[in-house]
Structure 1
Amino acid sequence: MEDSGDQLLLKKQYYLENCPGCKVDKAKELKKDVTFRNFFNIWIVVLSATLPIASLFPYLYFMVKDFNIAETEEDISTYAGYVGSAFMVGRALTSILWGMVADRFGRKPVFIIGIISVVIFNTLFGLCTSFWMAIMMRFLLGGLNGLLGTMKAYSSEIFREEYHALGQSTVSAAWGVGLAFGPALGGYFAQPVQKYPNIFPKDSFWDKFPYFLPCFIVSALTLAVAISCIWLPETLHNHKVSTDKIEALENRTSEADKNKMIQQDESLLRNWPLMSSIIVYCVFSIPDVAFAEIFSLWSVSPQRLGGLNFETNDVGNVLTVSGIAIIIFQLGIFQSVQKICGPIVLARIAGVLSIPILQSFSFMTMLSGFTLNISIYSAAILKYIFMEIISTGLYILQNKAVDQHQRGVANGICITAMSACKIIGPAAGGALLTWSQKRMDASFLPGSHVVFFGLNVIEILALLLTFKPFLTERKIPL
């Protein structure tokens, strides 16, 4: 009788009138959720988190050069790597904290705080006049930005179960587009006095701060997103018993079944399906973020140092087309392919195909004209699509591995670990690019060949970790 009473009590609490999480669950059950609205909300918040991460890459080489801190031209890439890593240092130190805040106070407050921090510190980054000022602004921007991990949790809660893959692919697509369009914005709008002298006169504010315009544009877009977040639905329940537990109690009456539910609250660090997917994701993230930085730095480097001697506009064009390709694939094709192959198999296929594509970049210095253009565009598009396939599949595994009440912290752990690895990516990538430019005449892997070979070594290691017994999926009890 006591179990029956508990079930009746919980049944009454199933959709509490003043609980925002219950309102979202009720709308999903009644099929009243507007998929496009949810999709749009996720899209704009993730873009707000991603655009400032990558928008500096095309002009970072020139920005560091203007700081006059590098002793030689070859050392510029090393210092650029330190600036790129500062964001990840800040994010690594605070992501678990933001996950705890999201699980305690809700997803929406974390979104608003994170977006406002982007507006402030991304704007200030555009006004930096010294290397250490740039490092500090990027560090604060990363430390106060808890958007990505919280949004990974949110995207698995706002959609009905049959649309979970759409939610995760939306996060991944927006992330990939941000990594592509962010550098495109930086490439088009950095140094506007040189590019658009009829609009931006010499010796003006824009000449004194040549990298402020792309930062201002990103911050203005982000401010609009911050205002729109006022109407964002909250998915976290404000009562102690979650709807997942209610459903479980309604369907389970035995003591053994209750014990199984209690085991779900065990330490996340002992949840191997979660931890294995996080580890694999982190290893993949090292070459991915290193590539995102190296591609821009390598492209604008002079040909005598093994680069392509591109202008920032050229880099922007390549990344814009790549971003459009990501949108088309992730939102039009990914969900169907994922249903056929499953997230793990699809990630393996993308990992295998990434290896020859990544190494092909080092041979493009031998090309010119139309052949170079078609090669660089094709390789960049494929590489960015493969990156998003892998990350989306691992997002799906991570969010399936935990229940809602632990999802914020779980994604916080993931972002912390990923950010720690991404500290390595830009710093090591910049140092590796500097080293490669000092060994242009080496007999083994000269110049940029050693850069992309190094990235492939880590890519192969990550690929091997996707196999059993290392990577496992959570078994949902019937």
Structure 2
Amino acid sequence: MDENTETTALLPKPKQNKPTPLPKLQLGVILFAQISEPTASQSIYPYVNQLVTELDITGGDPRRVGYYAGLIETLFYVTEAMTVLQWSRASDHIGRKPILVIGLFGTALSMFCFGMSRTFWTLVMSRCLTGLLNGNVGVMKSVMGDLTDRSNRAQALAFLPVVWDLGAAAGFFIGGQLAQPHIQFPSLFSGQFWRDYPYLLPSLATAGLVFLSGLVVLLFFKETAPSKTIRNHDDHQDANSPPPDSVVSLGPLPLRHLLTFPIIISVANYIALAFLDISLRSLLPLFFAMPIAIGGLALPPSKIGLILALQSVAIALFQILFFAKLIRRFGERRVMIGGMSMYLFIFAFISIISITARESGLTIIVWALVGCLLSFSVIADMCFGAIFMFLTASAPKNSRGSVNGLGQTLVSVARAIGPALSTSLFSLSAEKNLLRGHAVYAVFFVISVGAVMLATRLPVEVWEE
């Protein structure tokens, strides 16, 4: 060994755990596109109960509003569940970009149709179209997996729930503040057209945002699917040179080969989380809107939209400031268990708020309890970032689209059941006076216990890819 070799051997080895720099432009484009799904799905929540009432579907009985509002809300996820796996698997073969562009422009069109709808069945068809064309939610998670590795994934995935909640906040704000513009902005929208289509303006605003994100993807997004990027790289090689090993095993795996324990337990927890989350998101606007006499708070759409928008902004800020730090301090499993435990407090607090409002009206105590309730939901939302890390690590690189599509299909089924179940249980509890109108909260408290127990089955450490 010569002097130079010996000196080199004595030098300290460089650290191998330095995070890989994130591709900022690609990441920014996909995060902007991610806004479209929550904006489109959540923008109707502030006014959908009022819309059902105005269409006189319930025959003037406010206790039955939950049945029809829940159906409209759930159809988005029913139709999404029918197609999201096909969209995601297609992205493994033809690339992420074509699927993203189709989904974004299709969602913009469907939101315009929703705003122009004036009968129950046209609302149903418009909402179904939104779900059928919205295959992007699984594809976007696949893109995030393509753009990151184990060293920087926590940093990148922390932004997904943030962007989702910012999109939801935009949807809630748009739906609450732009609904019925002839009433809220009479000097600008006083014509008969806006009286005939009182919910077109929020739908147009939502459609415009989604359309803009589609243009951004079309112009600036570069393909990330492994099958396309490796094939494009291989096109520049000598035609007579043998293909690299990575290309030989490039093809996406059949679905039956993806049913491993890491994938199954990750998807199961994702389903439980999504079910509780969407059930709460559907239940809260109904709870806020219904008369105090039947267990609600009797708030108008503008206040409901503002409360839900502030909640989403608070969730986003909490994610930005604390998610990565909490993951490093406690690990993904503990964050997941702690976040799921919050649903126990959430459903208990809704019942307490309802009882307090009936006895004393909308006092400062009620608003303080509402603030506590929303704080619990802020903590619970951390679960999404944690479970995305488990799910992404469990997926083979060449089958990320399939795994995310499978997970998103099952999650969409859960999200289809959640709104209809929660709002219908609310109406049933009020109609039949089950547990003095609080049976819906007891049912979801029990479901939350099961979800916490399921989260304890996750491993202490995220799997190696």
TM-score (norm 1): 0.83
Shift of 1:380: 1.5
The secondary structure found in structure 2 opposite 1:420 is: helix
Tell me which residue corresponds to 2:44: 56
Q: Contact 1:119–1:219 at 8 Å: present in 2 too?
A: yes
Measured in 2, the distance between the counterparts of 1:163 and 1:319 equals: 31
- Superposition pairs of residues 73-84 of structure 1, within 5 angstroms: 73-84=62-73
Change (3 A) 1:242 1:394: farther
Residue 380, structure 1, aligned to residue 374, structure 2: yes
Tell me the distance in 1 between the aligned counterparts of 2:385 and 2:71.
28
- For structure 1, the 5+ residue unaligned runs are 1-28, 244-257
**Are the counterparts in 2 of residues 276 and 472 from structure 1 also a CA contact under 8 Å?**
no
Structure-1 residue corresponding to 2:436: 446
Q: What is the Cα deviation at residue 171 of structure 1?
A: 1.4
> Who is 1:411 aligned against?
404
Q: Matched residues, percent identical?
A: 23
1:101-157 CA-to-partner distances (Å, cap 9, x unmatched) read 110111111111111011100111011111111111111110111111011111122
| Distance in 2 separating the partners of 1:84 and 1:239 | 36
Does the CA-based 8 Å contact 2:96-2:225 persist in structure 1?
yes
Q: How does the TM-score come out when normalised to structure 2? A: 0.85
Please list the CA deviations of residues 190-231 of structure 1 after superposition, one character each: whole Å capped at 9, or x if unmatched: 111122222221x52111111111111111111111111120
The 1-side partners of 2:182 and 2:277 are apart by 32
* Aligned counterpart, 1:390: 383
Q: Residue in 2 aligned with 1:204?
A: 192
Match of 1:172 among 155, 158, 161: 161
* Structure 1 residue 146 corresponds to structure 2 residue 135: yes
> Residues 195-344 of structure 1 correspond to what in structure 2 (within 5 A)?
195-201=184-190, 203-229=191-217, 230-238=219-227, 265=253, 267-344=256-333
The CA deviation at 1:177 is 2.8
Aligned partners of 2:67 and 2:459: how far apart in 1?
A: 34
What is residue 21 of structure 1 aligned with on the other side? none
CA 1:461–1:242 in 2, change beyond 3 Å: closer, same or farther? farther
2:365 pairs with 1:371? yes
Give the deviation of 1:387 after TM superposition: 3.5
CA distance 1:235–1:172, change in 2 (3 Å): same
Name the CA distance, whole Å, in 2 between partners of 1:146 and 1:126.
Answer: 21
Whether contact under 8 Å (1:280, 1:465) holds in the other structure is yes
Partner of 2:339: 350
Equivalence for 1:429: 422
Distance 1:268 1:45, change over 3 A: farther
Extract unaligned runs of 5+ from structure 2.
Answer: 1-17, 233-245
- What is the identity, as a one-letter code, of the residue corresponding to 1:78? Y
Deviations 1:31-63 (A, max 9, x none): 66543x344323211111111111111111111
Distance 1:446 1:178, change over 3 A: farther
CA contact (8 A) 1:88 1:419 kept: yes
- State the one-letter code of the partner of 1:63: L
In 1: Cα distance, 2:369 partner to 2:170 partner: 20
Give the CA RMSD over aligned residues: 2.6
Distance apart, 1:176 and its partner CA = 2.6
**Greater mean alpha carbon deviation, residues 300-309 or residues 358-367:** 358-367
Number of paired residues?
426
